[in-house]
Amino acid sequence: MRSDKHKRLVLPGPVEVRPEILDAQAQWMIGHRSAAFADLFARLQGNLKQVFLTQYRVFISGSSGTGLWEGASRNCIRDDRKALHLTGGAFSERWA
């Protein structure tokens, strides 16, 4: 049964943010080269393996989807080869 006291907005734009989330965002950020980050990253790797039910490495990227596409293209296609990029919308047209 759903309560009408709390409404959930499931679309882009201004949304309600729970107080504990706001408090967490007020904490000092850890550096990406720190031991704390290395520990967090290692825990994420292990937890995501469990989430995705895999024994293989899970790749985490702090970039946008475009950054991931760039990384995949750069690392999967040799420099002396050509690639065919098909477009199907605004995001894929960045590669045309």
Decide if 3 is inside a domain.
Answer: no
Domain extent at residue 80: 63-96
pLDDT tens, position by position, 38-84: 999 889 888 998 999 999 988 888 777 788 888 888 888 888 988 88
How many domains does the chain fold into? 2
Decide if 79 is inside a domain.
Answer: yes
Decide if 22 is inside a domain.
Answer: no
HSE, side-chain direction, 13 A CA sphere, residue 87: 8
Dmax (CA) for the chain in angstroms is 61
Q: State whether residue 26 is helix, strand or coil.
A: coil
Decide if 11 is inside a domain.
Answer: no
pLDDT tens, position by position, 10-44: 767 777 888 898 899 899 988 888 999 899 988 98
Q: What pTM was estimated for this model as a whole?
A: 0.46
Residue 54 and residue 76 in one domain = no
Decide if 35 is inside a domain.
Answer: yes
Residue 69 and residue 46 in one domain = no
Residue 55 and residue 67 in one domain = no
